[in-house]
Amino acid sequence: MSRDQEDIAHIFKRISFAGGRIATLSEGGLKGTMGALYLKDLADKTRRGLRGRVEAGKSGGGNSYGYDVVRGPGPDGQPLTGERRINAHESAIIRRIFEEYAAGVSPRAIAKRLNAEGVLGPSGKAWGPSTIHGNRERGTGILNNELYIGRLVWNRLRYVRDPETGRRVSRLNPESGWIVQNVAGLRIIDQSLWERVKARQGALSAGRNPREAPGYWGRRRPRYLFTGLMRCAVCGGGIVHFNKAYIGCANARNKGTAITREPCGATIWKGLCSTACNTASWSRRAPKSFARNTRAP
């Protein structure tokens, strides 16, 4: 039923509550423990295999923008694994991003230019500012990918599953646990340009506004109504605040799409009030036992 002991306990409680029971041939709950141990052992074996591949200068999984995965048989007749080569078109885009950023252009402006020219991003869709600036400490984003200077870093991050949401969350590993290999053949950015970019990032971090500190917005109570509760009806992206007057889809922000906040809030309120009136009207016609347990918003 599951290889997670917590899931098995939850399923058992729900079925028991519903008046059902679970019958097993043998071993009972021991299978859940065995399944969990099997998954942990499998994960350890997989990581050992990936570590050996990285120490040989090959990819430990996934691919970075600017490279192609090399496929086909190797010298020994076996399929190639972990081999990459530089993509000429994408590497030119990477150099352009680094040069423009070093010259003082913001990631948002760079993304807008690339989107206006029809250049596809790493995911095959439009570029976003976060795709370019990423997170310097975690090594994410175009400007922080050390593979572009011929330095392969593996095991920088680990992923754990949040038991509340079921989503995977990344955690930064201590630097002592990183596996670093030099792969000069995959270098795209020269050292001087890389250092200029790092110098600008350092200067911007030194003068960062306290509101930009990690976790600030998560601790701050929303200032506007419906903040964090709206989604784009077209792509499902989150609705963000552009300024005091305008809000819009985060995915379409670079294209300049926005609507004013007041009409949007009024429309939502109208829908909520309409739902409340309908609920109250129905509850008046409903049986008293239901009406006692029903409250209009």
Q: What pLDDT shows up at residue 70? A: 83
E strands, the chain, where? 67-69, 84-86, 151-154, 157-161, 168-172, 179-182, 239-241, 246-249, 259-260
- Going along 88-231, which residue ranges are E strands? 151-154, 157-161, 168-172, 179-182
Strands annotated E in 134-249: 151-154, 157-161, 168-172, 179-182, 239-241, 246-249
CA of 257: how far to CAs of 1, 122, 240, 241, 247, in Å? 47, 22, 11, 12, 9
pLDDT confidence tier of residue 104, bands split at 50, 70 and 90:
very high
pTM: 0.60
Tell me where in the chain the CATH 3.90.1750.20 domain(s) lie.
57-212
Q: Which of 15, 26, 47 is CA-nearest to residue 177?
A: 47
Instruction: Extract the tokens encoding 138.
Output: 């975690």
Whether 132 has a pLDDT exceeding 90, the answer reads: yes
Phi/psi of residue 164, nearest 5 degrees: -80, -45
Enter the DSSP assignment of 296.
-
Query: Is 80 exceeded by the pLDDT of residue 203?
Result: yes
Pairing of strands 157-161, 67-69: unpaired
Asked if residue 162 has pLDDT above 90, the reply is no
Give the model confidence (pLDDT) of 38-96 as tens digits: 777 777 777 777 676 666 667 666 788 999 888 877 777 777 777 888 999 999 999 99
Q: Could you tell me the two tokens for 234?
A: 């077209």
**Residue range 196-214: average pLDDT?**
74
Whether the pLDDT of residue 140 is over 50: the answer is: yes
Provide the CATH topology of domain 57-212.
Hect, E3 ligase catalytic domain fold (3.90.1750)
CB atoms within 10 A of CB 98: 22
pLDDT of residue 114: 94
CA distance 136 to 191: 17
Please tell me the predicted confidence (pLDDT) of residue 257: 55
- Among 25, 246, 204, 209, smallest CA distance to 101 is for 204
Report the mean per-residue pLDDT for the chain: 77
pLDDT at 53: 67
